[in-house]
Amino acid sequence: MDLNERPPTYYGNCLDCKTQRTTISWCKNCEIAFLKENFPNWTSGSSIIDEFIRYTQLNATKSMDYLEWIDFDKFDLVKNINKRGAFSSIYSAIWLEGPRWNLDEEAEVWTRNGPIKVILKRLDNSQYMSQEFVNQVSFFVINKQCTSD
């Protein structure tokens, strides 16, 4: 049985709020509350991008279902790999912390699985990013979530 096919009862109840978890160590209610509390602690510098990231966080159903703003200083060994995407330059880098990976329930902290190699895209003229562009990215993210469930 694939982990994504297991019934929600398989994952047990949250130790804090006692609601049913949707995946391993993921309580939708508690995690979304945590992400929301953290909103004032980060910004991309663009209100349009911030709102989009917050939208993904507020609507997450699994631990890997949302976007996270990562400051550039959290990356190391950033190298242009001399490839171009549509309207972008592509880089390889090491994300020092890595994504949230495992919940230590006793300490009530998430550990991360970094360092991990990642690909970064630098969007051309990103200072002029429009709401229409973010809507297109949002459409892609929502469709990706629907097809991966």
Residue type (1 letter), 139:
F
Read off the pTM.
Answer: 0.75
From the CB of residue 26, how many other CB atoms can be counted at a distance below 10 Å?
19
d(CA 23, CA 3): 8
Give the pLDDT score at 109: 77
pLDDT of residue 145: 52
Model confidence over 50-73: pLDDT tens digits?
Answer: 998 999 999 988 878 888 999 999
Predicted pLDDT of residue 1? 47
Confidence at residue 2, expressed as pLDDT on a 0 to 100 scale: 52
Residues of the chain with pLDDT under 50: 1
The distance from CA 57 to its chain's CA centroid, rounded to whole angstroms, is 7
Q: What is the CA radius of gyration of the chain?
A: 17
Q: Which of 44, 46, 48, 43 is nearest to 131 (CA)?
A: 48
